[in-house]
Each structure stands twice: as structure tokens, then as C-alpha cells.
Structure 1
């Protein structure tokens, strides 16, 4: 019994390793999986066969001309999906995301006022009901992931504080789970964005990276240290938006003045553009077509404020790269080289000289991919769980 149990555990780990590689780095040939894992070709063939039987991977012809037997490409099955939900102060965004980070659908439901928890749940339910025919065509729905702009205890599903939404000390998982009838998980939006960018985006391949996301709800972020996400003692690490960068600046809801998210602020950008609401794509289009002096001055002011924060973070974390998402990515693009040059110049001892400042690669899909990744975590660790879920 002990030997059989050990064999089964080894099999589980190997299945997880193959599925994880196909999900995060695929599609990969069987030869590449063999090289990456150190397992034999026959073992890889058996593992791929079992995963294909679970509808978690499929194979296609690699199309590469080679002598001997061809090595087909192993794909994570993008028809195995998660629902992803991102409530914010101006919209509730719902997406369908497949294995491999494939976003099949993104719907942004704009709200006229900050949604309450009940309103966010009802909007999400209505959007998902409208997608029912499409969802029925997928192979498996693994669950729902919530990307919440606030302090979230991922283990319990409790939102300690989402100040811009006005949600405090509430369980967000239970009402969404009840409404959607799916296993549901929740985490901080920027933490999920960090994970998504480190796997599929601009931070992929870096062992030491920082991610900052800017939205209507403020600024949050996360850190990758030695290839692992930095969570903090209670899971709340990454509240970069409340770093004070101007002590005599604008009052912040946290009680202090001059926090990063009060000085670098989407609402201020929208104000100079005479817009009430805009996502990152709409903001970039507006800035590129505006060309006015007030808009240029505000972009420059916010870029300079952001450079102070990023220089402080370089001093503290010594990263290889800093990735900017949401409207922060728009600022990076609109400001030309101003931000990157400041980050190279301002940190102590030349620490910024080799830091790459990049825009998030996943764009408006970023938080949806991150929320789905939280859902897929159990499946990637234990692929056979899909058999129980489908029973």
C-alpha cells in the first residue's frame, strides 16, 4: 500500500507538471516536455494520454519537418474555462478565460454609480445568464474568480476593506458562489494582475519584478521575489498606492496626505480630458487625439510623481523589471521616455540603471486572466479533480 500510494503521488505530480507546462509555456512538443521534465519519452506519452482523456490537453501536428517520428504539439485545452469578475467603481467586467490564458469573451458593464456588493452580484448574474448558450459549448467550467480592488483575505473570501467600492468586512465569495452556482475564489486585483503578467505577460522570465496597476479604484501592485509572489504575513502585500510621495499633497481616504494614488490618479486625467469614465484603452485613445496643453501638463505631472514612487520601490526591492498596467501603462506610453529615464537616474547607487520599465502586455484582459489563474490553481495542482467535478 505504501509503495502504491507513493507511485500515485508521483503520478499526480508528473501530471501536474505536464499540464502546468502546457498551460504556462505551451503549446510544447512532446520532445520539449521530455527535455523540460527530465522524464522519459514514453512516460510523457502516457501522461499526455491521460490528460487528453480528461479533456485537459489536446495535440496537433507540429508542422516541423524532421527525420523519424514527428513530435506533436501539446496544447492546454482552452475550452476548459473559468469565469472571471472584476467589480470596480465605474463598471463590472466579466470574462470567460480558458487554460493557457485564452480570453474568449470580455464584457464591461458600465455602471452609473459605485456598485454595492448586491448590485455587483446581480450584474454578474445577468451577464452570465446572457452568456449561457456560449458557456454551454465549453468542455468544462472550473469555477469563478473575483478580482477585488481592496484588501482581500484569499483564504476566507473576506474583503477587509475595498475603500473605493465602500465594501468593508464582507464575505464576497458566498453571494457570488450562490448566484453563479460555481466554486468561487477571490483575491486582490493587483495581486492577481501580478501573477498573470509574471506567467503570460511582460514580467514572464523575470525572477525579480514589480507590478503596479492603476484603475478608477486607485493603485495596487505586487512583487515577484526569487520567482515567487510576495504575499506578506496576512496576504495584503502590495498596497503601493498608499506610499506617501508628497507629504503636503492631496488628502487620501486612508487619513494621510499625498499618497501615490491621490497624486497619480485616473480621475484627474479624465478631468483634463472632459471625460466622466474611460477604461485604459479609451483613455489612451483620448490622450492621443487630445493634444491640449492642460492634458500634456497633467501627464507630465503624474509621470513625475510616479517616478518618485518607482524609484523608492527600486531602492527597496532591487527588481529586474517594473510592469505598469491600467492607466499607469497609458501614462508610460504618453510620457515617452520620461518615466524610464527617471527610474534609471533617481535610485541610489545606480540601482535603476538596468531596470526595465514596461507596459503590461495583457492590457484590458489582465485582471480577468489573473482571476482565472486563481480558479485554475486547484486543477493545475491536481488535474484529476476535473473527473470528480464532472461526475
Structure 2
């Protein structure tokens, strides 16, 4: 698919001058290697339309910037001299953060969508913004000493509305955050460039680049987590962000006009009628045992009347939401994450059959509904917020570590 948030997918015009052309070609090759996780030099030549010597020169420069690695193929059946394999270097890393009401997850992410290390800090109650910043600040100091690479910046996937222009979290209801200047707080505390976006927006970017949305230009991601349901949408290969980054709040789609009151003030929202807590309760699991939900649903669905009734009810409302999504966006694939993926996996074709019956015949016949298989897609997508700068201009890597730009400052205790 096309790159929805940064970088270049193919060589374009010559640019204003030779320096522009050089930067564009570097961006093109690095973006291809990043998106594909590795490519042979021959494949890069074919994909870019550049000649072999030009590709070799570009790869050499990217290698000198420590942005790619060059190796010989392990095994090849091609006749003739084997083409070298170009992969993204693990030396430039992003720190990715995902705060939720039950934990703060922090990952060390390398280009190519690889999570090198992950840290999970469980919390008894929803963390404050200051708590998240202080946790991150302590961890970043250790990373600078232990990883040995260049920390390019911090990307944060927030379960709430994040302003695209200022990085202010307008509201994250399940965290009880309101008008938190999160990007400014993190940048001040860590001394690192910082970006933030909605967590489901981060996830759909990751799914489009590295998950179930590969080779799809129209992708919808719907995630069910501890804090409700969020969504992200890619249309025509481009991330649908809205006027200020607030689009994709699919969890607040009306699915039941006689439903319960949502925390947003509306009635019958998707995340009110379809929720993880009710599912955990009916199968006798607690929050700490949520990883066992799919297994218990497989065992109980169709066998235990109370479980079957609740799951069918939630599937009916989820089907209404997916019908609307199919009719409005005409996606090639809908990816379900979190407990929504678990419900789909445990109930066979029930959900797809419901959507095919209710949605318009044209778009419903073309859509796939799948469960996410990409672990830590929010962290990977948050890392993409950081990498888009270096993908657009790989020569920025020669400036040096951004950690030297300014000294971190203390944040008040939570």
C-alpha cells in the first residue's frame, strides 16, 4: 500500500536541483526497505526504475548514515551472481508509548516495524499524564546508556482525541485526561522530539504497513481494549485524519437507539453496547486474565446459554457498526484487534455472515474481515510517527543524535 504518514513510495520528478533529487532518491529507497523490512538490490532497482549503479550509490550512502545494513542472501536459486540484501538498520530507534487505563506500555522500535524491547508497567488505576511522563523519563535515561543507538524521538499512541497541530490531548475519557499538553510535557522531560496521535490511528498505520493491510489501499482498523473501542481509517492509501486529527472515533457510532448512556453523553454508542468487561464477567475472568478471553469464548460459545446470549447480542451490535463502515468506506479489509478479534476468532463466520446480509451487495462482497495478527501494532504505529521525519529526509540522520539538542527537565510528581 501507499505510505500513509510519511516517506516516498516511488521516484517522482527530478526535483528543483540535483540535491533535491538525491534526497528524494534516498527517501525512496529507504522507505521501500523500511516498508518491506528487507529487499534485494535487484528488487530495489526494479521498484524504483533507477539503474543499478545509481541504486548501489544510494545504498552505499544510506549504509554510511547507519540507516541500512547490507548482507549476502542466505540462499538463492537464481542463476548468476546473487543480489545483496538491504535491510533497515537497528541503530536508529524510536521510543513508543501507549498509556491505557490498566498499564503503560513502552517499546523500543526499530525501522522495519520491529519492536526490539517492550516494557509494561501495570497500574491499579488510570495513570495521570504526569505519571506517564515520569515513567518515560526514567526509562529513556536508561535506554540512552544501554541501547547504543540513536534515539530519534518519542511517539505516543493515546486512547483519546489528540490535536494533530499541537499534540494536546483534548480528552482521553478512560484516562480522565482533559486538555493535557502531552507532547510538550514529554519533549520537555526527555529532551527528545515528540509526536502523539490516537492509538487506533497508530495501529491502522502499522496494519497498513506491516500487518493485514499490506497491499490494501483501503483499510479500517477497529480495536477493542480496556478503555473502549477505537478506530482508524486509511482511504486510497492515505490516513484519514480529519481537520485536526480527530477522525476515526468509530467507537461512538450509534448502534442502539435504546441503549445505555455512554461517557461521551450520547446513548447507544458502539463501545457502550460492545465491551470487554461484560465478556470477561460472563466467562468468569478478571481484568488480569483478559489474555484468556478468546480461549474461554471458544469453550463456552454455543455451549453455555448465558455466554452465547451475550456474545450474540454484542455480535449483532458490532455487525451494525461494520455494516455502516462497509457502506461508507468500501474497505478492502477490516482488521479487528483486542477483544473484538478474540470474539471474531471464537465465533467463526457469524460476524461476516451478518455483515454480508445487512450491508450493500457491492462493497460487502469485496471486504475481508480479519483479526489482527500484528503484535504491538500501537507501539509500531507510534514508532512510525518518529520515523517519518528520517524517511522523508534520510540525510537528517547525519546531524547526530537529537538527544543532544537540549537537556531534559524535571516534571512535577504525580
- TM interval, shorter chain, is over 0.9
How far has the Cα of 1:128 moved from its partner?
4.3
- TM-score, normalised via structure 1 length: 0.93
| Partner residue of 2:308 out of 293, 296, 301 | 296
- TM-score, normalised via structure 2 length: 0.88
| Partner residue of 2:391 out of 372, 380, 391 | 380
Q: Is the 8 A contact 2:298 2:347 kept in 1?
A: no
Deviation string, structure 1 residues 137-169 (Cα, Å, up to 9, x no partner): 342211111000111013211111111111111
Change (3 A) 1:295 1:177: farther
- Separation (CA, whole Å) in 2 of partners of 1:371 and 1:383: 19
* Equivalent runs, 1:5-20 vs 2, <5 Å: 6-20=17-31
Deviation string, structure 1 residues 279-311 (Cα, Å, up to 9, x no partner): 863433454466654333322221221011000
Q: Is the 8 A contact 2:165 2:244 kept in 1?
A: no
Change (3 A) 1:17 1:279: farther
- Separation (CA, whole Å) in 2 of partners of 1:313 and 1:319: 8
Q: Is the 8 A contact 2:101 2:126 kept in 1?
A: yes
Residue 160 (structure 1) aligned with residue 175 (structure 2): no
How far has the Cα of 1:331 moved from its partner?
1.4
| Partner residue of 1:183 out of 188, 193, 197 | 193
Q: Is the 8 A contact 2:297 2:343 kept in 1?
A: no
**Structure 2 unaligned regions, length at least 5:** 1-13, 405-414
* Equivalent runs, 1:1-391 vs 2, <5 Å: 6-62=17-73, 63-128=75-140, 131-132=142-143, 136-278=146-288, 281-288=291-298, 292-363=304-375, 365-390=376-401
Change (3 A) 1:5 1:83: same
Q: Is the 8 A contact 1:245 1:260 kept in 2?
A: yes
How far has the Cα of 1:211 moved from its partner?
1.1
**Deviating more after overlay: 354-363 vs 48-57:** 354-363
How many residue pairs get aligned? The number is 386
Q: Secondary structure at the match of 1:384?
A: helix
Q: Is the 8 A contact 1:344 1:350 kept in 2?
A: no
- Separation (CA, whole Å) in 2 of partners of 1:293 and 1:138: 56
How far has the Cα of 1:44 moved from its partner?
0.3
Root mean square deviation of aligned Cα:
2.0
Q: Is the 8 A contact 2:332 2:367 kept in 1?
A: yes
How far has the Cα of 1:127 moved from its partner?
4.3
How far has the Cα of 1:198 moved from its partner?
0.4
Change (3 A) 1:92 1:286: farther
**Structure 1 unaligned regions, length at least 5:** none
Q: Secondary structure at the match of 2:285?
A: coil
- Separation (CA, whole Å) in 1 of partners of 2:289 and 2:95: 20
Higher relative contact order (CA 8 A, sep 6+): 2
Change (3 A) 1:332 1:79: farther
How far has the Cα of 1:345 moved from its partner?
1.7
Q: Secondary structure at the match of 1:297?
A: helix
- Separation (CA, whole Å) in 1 of partners of 2:356 and 2:289: 29
Deviation string, structure 1 residues 239-279 (Cα, Å, up to 9, x no partner): 00111100110100111111001011112122223434248
Deviation string, structure 1 residues 291-348 (Cα, Å, up to 9, x no partner): 6543333222212210110001111111111111111111111221111111222102
Q: Secondary structure at the match of 1:351?
A: helix
Q: Secondary structure at the match of 1:376?
A: helix
How far has the Cα of 1:383 moved from its partner?
0.6
How far has the Cα of 1:219 moved from its partner?
1.2
Deviation string, structure 1 residues 157-216 (Cα, Å, up to 9, x no partner): 111111111111120012222333321110111111110000000011111121111111
Deviation string, structure 1 residues 350-372 (Cα, Å, up to 9, x no partner): 43122100111213x11000100
- Separation (CA, whole Å) in 2 of partners of 1:287 and 1:121: 37
Q: Is the 8 A contact 1:270 1:276 kept in 2?
A: yes
- Separation (CA, whole Å) in 2 of partners of 1:178 and 1:122: 11
**Deviating more after overlay: 282-291 vs 135-144:** 282-291
